[in-house]
Amino acid sequence: MTFDLGGMMRQMLGSAAGNGGNSERRKDVVYDAAIVGYGPAGGVMATLLAEKHGLKVCIIDPNLEKRWIPNYGVWLEEWEALDKDLQIGLGDCLERTWEVTDSFFGGSNGVPPGERCRIKRAYGRVSRDKMQANLKARLSSAGVAKIRGRVDPKTVEHSTEGTSLRLDDGERIDCRLLVDCSGHRSELVERSGVDNPGVQIAYGAEVEVLDGHAPYDENAMLFMDYRTDYVAETELSADELRELDEVPTFLYAMPLGKSPNGRRKIFFEETSLVARPPISFDLCKERLDRRLKHHGITVAKVLDEEFCYIPMGGAMPKLDQRVVAFGGAAALVHAATGYMQVRMLAAAGGVARAIASELTKEDHPAASEAAARRAYQALWPAKARLQRDFHVFGGEFLMAQHAPILRGFFDGFFRLPLPLWAGFLSGYPNLPHNELHQDWQGRLGFGFQFFLKLPPLVQLQLMKAGVLNGWRYGLIRSVSPLASGEEAKDLRFADEAESIRAAAIAVDSASGAPPALGVASDMAPSDRGSLQEGGTTDEKELVVM
């Protein structure tokens, strides 16, 4: 495929001038990649494809200038590794760091309520504003076109040369590859099986407080406080007391120093780790209020609020489709923890390289289909899929447990050697310590060591879950020699990609010319919602990953 230099320069100048509307766009532009969704995943992928690989890229979103909603927490070791790997200025996006993290798992399993679990591993807060501004500048510099609009999923059509689609205003966009970064509720991505994820719900508030925030250390990030002793039995009915244990939540908190007025500032978040169906934001907010009141923490002013809704687990995208899913749309959320930001970044470099390796080849028939196939191979190789099976089992186990079991579970988890638990929390190739979990022997060894750290009652629950659901959720495959069969499938990928190219050459030879853009897709539109990654509802700001 050829491009004229003059047209490319005009498109680049239009983007650099801040062309967020459609009036300046040429109607005959064919983009190498069209990115749907301008959240962190879309911004990172567009930056890598344009800045690092020189591709002509557009990014499509109905809310191009909207402020990104969540502030992300990350393990500093992981963030620094990603900054070094991607070279897109991630290190400049950190807002604050803490050298240690604290957790509280007391109140059951023989652990005193006041016992603190301190982890000597640095944690950081990523500034949404700094990251958004950094990527915005890079996108402009790389000539990425920003197109305001919503893709009509019924209009997506694929051909040998690429993909065409129309926006809700009727305008047509042509590209060689469509990359969907619009979040879990994507209407463009086909999924394998029934999509029935668990959901992490969190209500967060950045506040100014009076008289400090004891009993929490202002120099430590609070990772988890799973205690339920913040409510006296006399304050609740029998049903409410039962709900406190059966519908567990924990507190997560980031001390942020002093505001200009001298008051201490802190971000509090009450979180339901994973549940199906999800619990309500109101319940999280109510519990946060009770918890702070119990500890004598008085909120003087609410600076910001956050409502997070994060699907975990659920169906994977089909790996042989033409639309490349990325971020939440690709089920990259850790199925047992809810982490996605670092996993998305860990995947981004390899996926971008895979796409560019096909789209930059000269005279390559079926480059679009081959690029999609290689992107999925980079995104979800067998090793990563097997790790995900292990995580899915963990997420299903966790959402079935009451608060006392979860306290025992996490108390045992953080008693493991740091590389073992850190590798599980990262759970994706290219992240620190993940190598300890990348083969079935490593996962089996982790499980055995973890089991020995658990209280007897938690061991019993875990054994029951393994017997009843180990096969259903992929645990058996992920920790046995059956994993080798899955990994062997990856070895056939090069032959498959070559077959795609050979078939396209045969079609070209028979017809004398490649087919034009506009061959209808056989994908049925999804009936899932239409929220973009980082999108909002009319009632409140809601983060949907």
pLDDT, tens digit, 9 for 90 and up, residues 425-443: 999 999 999 999 999 999 9
Q: 269: domain CATH number?
A: 3.30.70
- Pair 433, 327 in one domain: yes
How many domains does one find in the chain? 2
At 387-417, the pLDDT tens digits run: 999 999 999 999 999 999 999 999 999 999 9
pLDDT bucket at 232, cuts 50 / 70 / 90:
confident
| Confidence check: pLDDT of 67 > 50 | yes
- Pair 45, 140 in one domain: yes
pLDDT bucket at 3, cuts 50 / 70 / 90:
very low
pLDDT bucket at 173, cuts 50 / 70 / 90:
very high
**pLDDT for res 517:** 47
Domain that holds residue 253: 199-311
Q: Is residue 540 part of a domain?
A: no
- Pair 290, 399 in one domain: no
User: What residues contact residue 31 under an 8 Å CB cut-off, 6+ apart?
Assistant: 56, 57, 58, 145, 173, 174, 175, 176
Q: 432: domain CATH number?
A: 3.50.50.60
Q: pTM for the whole thing?
A: 0.87
**pLDDT for res 69:** 83
The letter for the amino acid at 257 is G
Task: State both tokens at 7.
Answer: 């047209």
| Confidence check: pLDDT of 545 > 60 | no
The mean pLDDT value for 102-120 works out to: 95
428: burial class by Cβ within 10 Å (0-12, 13-18, 19+)? buried
Q: Is residue 125 part of a domain?
A: yes
Helices first, then strands: H and E counts in the chain: 16, 18
pLDDT bucket at 525, cuts 50 / 70 / 90:
very low
Q: Is residue 459 part of a domain?
A: yes
Q: Is residue 491 part of a domain?
A: no
The mean pLDDT value for 236-264 works out to: 93
- Domain end position, chosen among 242, 276, 311: 311
| Confidence check: pLDDT of 4 > 60 | no
**pLDDT for res 276:** 96
Nearest to 390 by CA among 345, 303, 306, 450: 450
Q: Is residue 503 part of a domain?
A: no
Distance CA 539, CA 70 (A): 17
- Pair 208, 151 in one domain: no
Distance CA 426, CA 346 (A): 10
| Confidence check: pLDDT of 521 > 50 | no
pLDDT bucket at 489, cuts 50 / 70 / 90:
confident
Helices 341-359 and 76-86 cross at an angle (nearest 10°) of 20
**pLDDT for res 389:** 96
- Domain end position, chosen among 294, 311, 328: 311
388: burial class by Cβ within 10 Å (0-12, 13-18, 19+)? buried
Higher pLDDT, 532 or 231: 231
| Confidence check: pLDDT of 17 > 50 | no
- Pair 273, 335 in one domain: no
At 195-226, the pLDDT tens digits run: 899 999 999 999 999 987 888 999 999 999 99
**pLDDT for res 512:** 59
